[in-house]
Amino acid sequence: MIVDCAVYTNGKRRDGDLPLVDALEASKEPDSFVWVGLHEPSPDEFEAVREEFGLHELAVEDAIAAHQRPKLEVYDGDLFVVLKTARYDDATELVAFAELQLFVGESYVVSVRHGEASALADVRRTIESDLSRIRCGPMAVLHAVIDHVVDDYAPVIDGLDNDMAEIEDAVFAVDRPRGFDPSERIFKLKREVLNFYRNTEPLLDPLGRLAAGQLPGAHPELASYFRDVEDHLTRAVSAVAHARDLLSEALDANLAQVTVRQNDDMRTISAWLAIGGFPTVVGAVYGMNFQHMPELETRFGYFVVLAVMLGICFMLYRRFKRVGWL
Amino acid sequence: MIVDCAVYTNGKRRDGDLPLVDALEASKEPDSFVWVGLHEPSPDEFEAVREEFGLHELAVEDAIAAHQRPKLEVYDGDLFVVLKTARYDDATELVAFAELQLFVGESYVVSVRHGEASALADVRRTIESDLSRIRCGPMAVLHAVIDHVVDDYAPVIDGLDNDMAEIEDAVFAVDRPRGFDPSERIFKLKREVLNFYRNTEPLLDPLGRLAAGQLPGAHPELASYFRDVEDHLTRAVSAVAHARDLLSEALDANLAQVTVRQNDDMRTISAWLAIGGFPTVVGAVYGMNFQHMPELETRFGYFVVLAVMLGICFMLYRRFKRVGWL
Amino acid sequence: MIVDCAVYTNGKRRDGDLPLVDALEASKEPDSFVWVGLHEPSPDEFEAVREEFGLHELAVEDAIAAHQRPKLEVYDGDLFVVLKTARYDDATELVAFAELQLFVGESYVVSVRHGEASALADVRRTIESDLSRIRCGPMAVLHAVIDHVVDDYAPVIDGLDNDMAEIEDAVFAVDRPRGFDPSERIFKLKREVLNFYRNTEPLLDPLGRLAAGQLPGAHPELASYFRDVEDHLTRAVSAVAHARDLLSEALDANLAQVTVRQNDDMRTISAWLAIGGFPTVVGAVYGMNFQHMPELETRFGYFVVLAVMLGICFMLYRRFKRVGWL
Amino acid sequence: MIVDCAVYTNGKRRDGDLPLVDALEASKEPDSFVWVGLHEPSPDEFEAVREEFGLHELAVEDAIAAHQRPKLEVYDGDLFVVLKTARYDDATELVAFAELQLFVGESYVVSVRHGEASALADVRRTIESDLSRIRCGPMAVLHAVIDHVVDDYAPVIDGLDNDMAEIEDAVFAVDRPRGFDPSERIFKLKREVLNFYRNTEPLLDPLGRLAAGQLPGAHPELASYFRDVEDHLTRAVSAVAHARDLLSEALDANLAQVTVRQNDDMRTISAWLAIGGFPTVVGAVYGMNFQHMPELETRFGYFVVLAVMLGICFMLYRRFKRVGWL
Amino acid sequence: MIVDCAVYTNGKRRDGDLPLVDALEASKEPDSFVWVGLHEPSPDEFEAVREEFGLHELAVEDAIAAHQRPKLEVYDGDLFVVLKTARYDDATELVAFAELQLFVGESYVVSVRHGEASALADVRRTIESDLSRIRCGPMAVLHAVIDHVVDDYAPVIDGLDNDMAEIEDAVFAVDRPRGFDPSERIFKLKREVLNFYRNTEPLLDPLGRLAAGQLPGAHPELASYFRDVEDHLTRAVSAVAHARDLLSEALDANLAQVTVRQNDDMRTISAWLAIGGFPTVVGAVYGMNFQHMPELETRFGYFVVLAVMLGICFMLYRRFKRVGWL
């Protein structure tokens, strides 16, 4: 679906909805370019766009497949950029990724959104209102879109950090419900974190090349802006790498916690076993049916034995208490 | 066995089956090249091919041994490329690798398949139907073959991902059958994953050199195509590295799960031991055969004791239930 | 808040408090520069400063956001440096970070402190008293500030090392209180250590560039001084990396300790179970109510059985003692 | 001991055993070189050789010490190469390393074997029979020796792989004998693997330099041959790195297996404890000696109790069977 | 304290003890240099030396602080080198480090020892006796000192290796004393090993620069000698890295061993519990006081029950023996 198709001349959007062919024509005038926004285009729609702009066969294959890593390719002087947008879903604690592709030529930008990639209407509005920026042409649009995508990583990181904190609390909670084990949550969060890293880190290299300004169509005024986005991405990637390392530690610490608790439980159990076991042994002995057992016939034998039993049980209790088994 | 031997002039396949010698002769005409396809050649067959094309002694040694890593060597201006084809067997959860070797000269391609390396007939058909590509000569064949091999990695990765998902389910299943432990499956999958990585990752460097177009016989039009294959391979390698990291976590998470379950079991067992232990202790005490035990002679002693026993057992049950041991 | 605003000419501070506009004017005289110190400036204050000095839009955005990684950016020949100050709180065993930003131009330095970043009054005093240094201009101020920040890392490292030593003692203590597990402390210290690494290591690269003297405004005399700071930072980062590695080992060693102790406990418990179990079995057998049990009627049966019981218990005790279960 | 001392002119070995001095003299003729083979030379023998060939003092120190890492040094235009030969001993599962050193000058090769380094007589025979190769002079000898040493790594890797497979079987065996734990074997194999890596990996860099042909005495025709050896070594090192990674996983998987088995055992034990515990509790209760216990006096009390006991035991058995504890 | 202060002219030491000022004067003659050896100099002594030789302020700060990493700095054409000497204490199994600093100018060497850094008298004697070397001037002294320091690493590595072997034996010992756990020793050895690595590895880079001969004062004849020291250091660092990796494995293997042993113990205990438990259950049943229990009145009931008990116990014993639980 063609979502929007606008021609910008000297940074100003021309009025009216232009059909694709006219837009392309208009974009060839000096200081003009066209930005075509597609959302999950049908093969026919895409073929139309491809022919008009002469997009490279390989880039088009990728654009349709939409299972790319973030990357930047140069085909005959035009750029093809793949971005991954991320959205954090707090309920499922999952990060949803979608794909956004940009074809950037001298006088055109074609953006292709897949899945739930966030709509670019806001980006368009923002850049349309910033004349000094949009005058730089298609590369300014590229910057605005990447900036938008990278800014959207921040809430994802906040969501992951929040989960991290909850997991920390769960791992070191004094009491935890039966059968509850944070290791599943740790594992699944780690999976998301590794996934996030994998979908964002490869963008660092393209951003570095854009900031260095050595690509076709580079605009010197934009270099700082690309470097700024690169810096934001570096921060996001560094935060995620930090989370990744901490989660491994959390898994190990959780195991240590469980093992320590198990040891404590075993000691408690054993202590009570000992306390209850002593009377049982004595009872078993004096429960034997020998005809000749002198103690049994004494007047106060039972009371003596009972007192001794209770005394020893109490001593055991005190002792276990002291060494920390109870 | 010589599977196919065809001469291409200006991108068109010459009719008829040519014997090796004639094919070689024909390939020396301008804009022509020959593609000889071998499958597990006997030493004699191979020697014949080697002499005709003047292949380098060392490359030939490697081609016969067929226990190579993926690599690209330049011998006197000709290329020798070793590829690993992969096929995933879902029943055994194993990845089967086979070897494919290519000798690429100015006017010839010799492809050598070993073991179950996937047949190249399809590749040949595809490239024969794409005139613009095959006109680029032997390097176009090289590209088509590598592209085919790398594309075949995708179903392998899908298979491994599928196993990953099953393993995740098994690790975190609430009930699992006696003696069942996913750690064996995790280990074996990890072995396959490491193996896959080892058989694919070294191909990245040769592809990078092919994409950079600095090798003898490089064709500028093909650079983008090789870069596209490199990109696909990067994606496969990145997915495998991701699986590798997750599997380590899965092994640790599994251990934590088992330990937590063990602790829960131990608590349950101990709770029942305590509940059953109390009447036993009391029974042992009142089972002693002392002649003088006043309680035994009372009218309702037994009922009182029985009531106390049951009461305490019930209290213990309630308490263990509350703290989550039952 | 503008904390201090002073003009230095030939290394000497001009008397009197100058308003911002006059200070800027004065700084344009030869061999002069102005150093404006801000602390959590309001947007209006900051806007005033920005306009006077023509600071770059992007740097200003960063300066207001204040969630940066350490970095050095060059905007139109001026430097923008972000530093992280660290302070160790012994009570909570946490490292508190704050942010310090510097805009360094040919004739001005603007320093912006956020949160609890240590005040720079001391740095100002120190550098004002070192004529030979302050004559080098704004870069000397930059050096003095970074030097101050990096020097403040030393007590943090001492604090972390101290915690490390305490943790080591706790892990390998012969007796530890019930429920006490150093793994939580190890984990939290590791989190601090990783955090510290993340907030200091990225500064190495900017310092390297400053030491190499290739940045605008570089002063050859200061290269050694920047290299010296770089060296101090390298030492701090290396110490932290060392702590990070040791903490992982500590977590593993702790788990091993707990497991060994558990095994020892289980053996002790079992030994006592065996010693108490034997009389219980014998008692149960002779407690059976069969009418015809010849042993029960013998004169010394009970004493013989008692002696055998005690003897075997003693033997078991000796044996368990010898094999180290008791 | 001087094992062999031969002069080669135009690739042909001169007849007769020459004393060292004459050999040196002869080697100075055009297209000639001498190859002196030493085996654990005495200091005097070595001193004689050193003086004749003017070997560098430092290389000689190393040659006598013989505890080197693989390396290649250039001293005044001559090469000094240290190699590690490896032999796998299947009985002890140990890899035995020995040292082989080569001094390579314009017209001489001095090879020094230490310990059980494999004899070079075979290498000498092979190269003497390959005229085209030996005509390249001392560098051809160097290639032949390195090729021989690296080829000898293959059986070592096979041996290690074989052990790996046995260990895998042991780790995941359903039944394993009491006290048997593969972790010792895993550890010791890992030690060998790490050792092998350490003794072979550093040779990659020298081989790379030899293949690049930038060293003194480099012969263009040999570059491919050195690259071939480099490739073989890369394969060996990659296989060893693979084994190293898998062994770490095996250790973890083994721990998980043991823990799972322990949990299964504990459940079985507990189930039987419960089944046996119920009659014991009932027995203890009805074994009490209260004078007034109505049930005891009933006609069928015993049979009812017995039936209830057996019934409950059977129910418990069924239940435990169902949940997989038995 | 000034330990020694000597002037060397043409490699020969001048007779007599010269005061510092005269020594400096004499060193300015051609082919002369002075070597001043200090041991923990007081600030005043050091200030005197600093002024005479014009040492750089920053290097002097470092020299007094003496908590450096190994490094090499160039200040105004003079070198400042920091070394770490190591000594292994077998009793405590600790490695003691001390610091050694060298200022190397065109015509002077100032060596500063801190703590227990090994005295340099031996080095001085050795180099004084090697005329060809000492004629190369101050750089020869630098080489001799570094060589000495690096050679002293060898016994440390031997000591650590020795501990490694002892630990391996302890981990895999069949019997180990109660409460004995090698994990503490493994951890502490690992700490030493990491520390050693941290104090030696950073010296590799300075040695590489010295071997490359690109530093001021480089003497072409010494390049090989520095490369030789670099090689020795590489060997030491590689050995330590090997120890580091093995120790991690040892910790894991130890944990596996303990867990296996625990499982074996639990099985043994359970087997005995079952064997002793059966008679107890039977005893409890026949110990019930029901008035009507027909078995009790039979003539041989007791003997039958006794026989059945013993028989079943024996069967259980046989069975547990067979499955390896006993």
Q: Which of B228, B255, B267 sits opposite A58 (nearest CB)?
A: B228
Q: Are D59 and D80 in contact (CB under 8 A)?
A: yes
Mutation site, B228, B258, B290, B305, interface A, largest A CB count within 10 A: B290
Contacts of C291 in chain A (CB under 8 A): none
pLDDT value for B179: 61
pLDDT band per the 50, 70, 90 thresholds, residue E176 = low
Q: Is D232 helix (H, G, I), strand (E, B) or coil?
A: helix
Q: How would you list the strands of the sheet with D2-9, edge to edge?
A: D12-13, D2-9, D32-39, D108-113, D94-104, D78-89, D71-75
Q: What does DSSP assign to residue D213?
A: T
Main-chain phi, psi angles of E93, to 5 degrees: 55, 35
Q: Which subunits have 3 or more CB–CB pairs within 8 Å of chain D?
A: B, E
Share of chain C above pLDDT 70, in %: 97
Q: What mean pLDDT do residues C247-272 have?
A: 85
The DSSP symbol for E50 reads H
* Interface contact D235-B184, CB threshold 8 A: no
Radius of gyration of chain E (CA): 35
Q: How far is C296 from chain A (nearest CA, A)?
A: 4
In the structure encoding, which two tokens stand for residue B57, read together?
A: 């002694």
E89-105 residue pLDDT tens: 888 889 999 999 999 99
Q: Which residue has the higher pLDDT, C138 or C219?
A: C138
Q: Are E7 and E47 in contact (CB under 8 A)?
A: no
Å from E25 to nearest chain C CA?
28
Phi-psi region of A125 (alpha: psi -120 to 50; beta: other; left: phi over 0): alpha
- For residue C31, what are its two tokens? 């061999």
Residue numbers of A between 120 and 179 with CB closer than 8 Å to B: 175, 177-179
Which three-class secondary structure state does DSSP give residue D185? Answer: helix
Which residues of chain D have a CB within 8 Å of the CB of E225? 58
**CB-based contact (8 Å) between E287 and chain D?**
yes
DSSP 8-state code for residue C287: T
pTM across the whole model: 0.86
pLDDT exceeds 90 at position E203: yes
Question: Which of helix, strand or coil describes residue E29?
Answer: coil
- In the numeric block, the tokens 């002779």 are attached to C286
Q: Is the pLDDT of residue A254 over 90?
A: no
* pLDDT on residue A117: 67
Is residue A214 exposed (0-12), middle (13-18) or buried (19+ Cβ within 10 Å)? Answer: exposed
The interface predicted TM-score (ipTM) is 0.81
Asked if the Cβ–Cβ distance from A287 to B284 is below 8 Å, we say: yes
Interface check A273 vs C, CB under 8 A:
yes
- CB A183 within 8 Å of CB A247: no
Return the percentage of chain B with pLDDT > 90, whole number: 31
Residue B177: its pLDDT value, please?
A: 66
Burial C180-195 (b: 16+ CB within 10 A, else e): ebbbbbbbbbbbbbbb
Question: What's the Cα-to-Cα distance from A110 to each of A63, A71, D112, rounded to whole Å?
Answer: 11, 16, 69
Q: What is each CA distance from D164 to B197, B300, D170, D242, D250, in whole angstroms? A: 19, 72, 10, 11, 9
Alpha-carbon gap, residue A191 to C51, rounded angstroms: 47
With CB atoms and an 8 Å threshold, state whether C265 touches A267: yes
Please answer yes or no on whether D285 and B273 come within 8 Å at the CB atom. Answer: no
Cβ-defined contact of A256 to C258 (cutoff 8 Å):
yes
Tell me: pLDDT of A29 over 80.
Answer: yes
C77 in reach of chain A (CB within 8 A): no
Say if residue D176's pLDDT is above 80: no
Please report, rounded to a whole number, the percentage of residues in chain E having pLDDT higher than 70. 97
Shortest distance, CA C275 to any CA of chain A (angstroms): 10
Burial of B154 (0-12, 13-18, 19+ CB in 10 A): middle
Best D230, D267, D288, D297 member to test B by mutation, with max B CBs in 10 Å, is: D288
Residue that the structure tokens 């879109």 belong to: A145
Residue spans of beta strands (DSSP E) within chain E: 2-9, 12-13, 32-39, 71-75, 78-89, 94-104, 108-113
Measured CA to CA, the distance from residue A176 to residue C93 in angstroms comes to 25
- Tell me, yes or no, if C187 comes closer than 8 A to chain A by beta carbon: yes
pLDDT of residue C117: 67
Q: Which residue of D has its CA nearest to B60?
A: D228
Q: Does the distance separating the beta carbons of E75 and C224 come in below 8 Å?
A: yes
Would you say A237 and A294 are in contact if contact means Cβ atoms under 8 Å apart?
A: no
**Which of A249, A292, A293 lies at the smallest CB-CB distance from C190?**
A249
**Closest to B110 (Cα-Cα) out of B48, B157, B162:** B48
Mean pLDDT of B111-125: 83
| pLDDT score of E157 more than 90 | yes
Closest CA to C228 of C138, C133, C162: C133
Amino acid D240: pLDDT? 92
- Whether residue A37 contacts residue A49, with contact meaning beta carbons closer than 8 Å, is answered with no
Give helix A121-128 / helix A138-151 axis angle, nearest 10°: 130
Residue B187 contacts D where some CB pair is shorter than 8 Å: yes
Distance, CA of A156 to CA of A134 (rounded, Å): 29
Instruction: Answer whether A262 sits within 8 Å of C262, measured CB to CB.
Output: yes
Mutate to test the interface with A, among B176, B246, B252 (most CBs of A within 10 A): B252
Backbone angles phi, psi at E272, to 5 degrees: -65, -35
Beta strands, E only, C90-208: 94-104, 108-113
Pick from E9, E7, E6, E35: which is nearest to E135 by CA? E9
Tell me if chain A has a CB within 8 Å of the CB of C267. Answer: no
Q: Which of C302, C309, C310, C326 to mutate to test the interface with A (most CBs of A within 10 A)?
A: C302
Partners of residue C187 in chain A, C-beta under 8 Å? 168, 171-172, 249-250, 253
Crossing angle (nearest 10°) for helices E138-151 and E204-212: 140
Q: What average pLDDT does the segment E189-212 reach?
A: 92
Q: What is the mean pLDDT of chain E?
A: 86
Q: What is the pLDDT of residues D198-241, one digit of tens each?
A: 999 999 999 999 998 888 888 888 888 999 899 999 999 999 99
Res B216 pLDDT > 80: yes
- Please, are residues A70 and A205 in contact by the beta-carbon 8 Å criterion? no
Dihedral, A16, A17, A20, A24 alpha carbons, nearest 10 = 20
* H or E element in which residue D211 lies: helix D204-212
Select from D62, D280, D313 the residue whose CB has the most chain E CBs within 10 Å, as the one to mutate to test that interface: D280
Closest chain B C-alpha to A289 CA, distance in angstroms: 7
| C-alpha span between D286 and B260 (Å, rounded) | 39
> In this complex, is the C-beta atom of C311 within 8 Å of any C-beta atom belonging to chain E?
no
Which among E230, E306, E11, E222 has a CA at the least distance from the CA of E130? Answer: E11
Report chain B residues whose CB lies below 8 A from the CB of D280.
276, 280
Among C148-162, D86-100, E5-19, the range scoring the smallest mean pLDDT is E5-19
Nearest chain B residue to A180 by CA distance is B260
Mean pLDDT of chain A: 86
Q: Which chains touch B (3 or more CB pairs under 8 A)?
A: A, D
- Give the Å distances, CA to CA, from E199 to A8, A130, E84, E149, E309: 62, 55, 6, 12, 69
Asked if C284's CB is within 8 angstroms of A289's CB, the reply is: no
In this complex, which of E262, E264, E287 lies closest to D283 when CB atoms are compared? E287
| Contact (CB<8Å) E288/C289 | yes
D280 with E278: Cβ contact below 8 A:
no
Q: Which residue type is seen at A87?
A: R
With a CB-CB cutoff of 8 Å, which residues 205-264 of chain E face chain C? 248, 251-252, 254-255, 258-259, 261-262
The pLDDT value recorded for residue E318 is: 93
DSSP code at position C69: P
The answer to whether E284 faces chain C, any CB pair under 8 Å, is yes
Contact at CB, A248 and B249, closer than 8 angstroms: yes
Q: What distance in Å separates the CA atoms of residue A27 and residue A13, rounded to the nearest whole number?
A: 11
What pLDDT sits at residue E179?
Answer: 61
If you measure CA to CA, which chain D residue comes closest to B59? D228
The DSSP-derived string for C189-209 is HHHHHHHHHHHHGGGHHHHHH
Which of A69-78, B144-153, D165-174, E273-282 has the highest mean predicted lDDT (pLDDT)?
B144-153
Considering only CB atoms, which chain B residues are within 8 Å of A309? 285
* Maximal C-alpha separation, chain D: 123
Closest CA to A268 of C111, D277, B266, B72: B266
- 3-state per-residue secondary structure call for chain B: CEEEEEEEECCEECCCCCCHHHHHHHHCCCCEEEEEEEECCCHHHHHHHHHHHCCCHHHHHHHHHCCCCCEEEEECCEEEEEEEEEEEECCCCEEEEEEEEEEECCCEEEEEECCCCCCCHHHHHHHHCCHHHHCCCHHHHHHHHHHHHHHCHHHHHHHHHHHHHHHHHHHCCCCCCCCCCCHHHHHHHHHHHHHHHHHHHHHHHHHHHHHHCCCCCCCHHHHHHHHHHHHHHHHHHHHHHHHHHHHHHHHHHHHHHHHHHHHHHHHHHHHHHHHHHHHHHHHHHHCCCCCCCHHHHCCCHHHHHHHHHHHHHHHHHHHHHHHCCC
pLDDT in tens, E44-64: 888 888 888 888 888 877 777
Task: Say whether D289 and B289 touch across the interface (CB within 8 A).
Answer: yes
Interface B-D, measured as beta-carbon pairs within 8 A, has a size of: 143
Minimal Cβ distance to C266: which of E71, E265, E301: E265
**Residue type at B195 in one-letter notation:** N
**CB < 8 Å to A58, chain B:** 224-225, 228
Report the gap between the CA of E165 and the closest CA in chain C (Å).
19
Q: Please tell me the predicted confidence (pLDDT) of residue C194.
A: 92
Closest Cα of chain A to B89: distance in Å?
24
pLDDT at E177 over 70: no
Check pLDDT > 80 for residue C305.
Answer: yes
- What is the pLDDT at residue D220? 83
D304 contacts chain E (CB < 8 A)? no
* D206 touches D71 (CB < 8 A): yes
Is A246 in Cβ contact with C190 (below 8 Å)?
yes
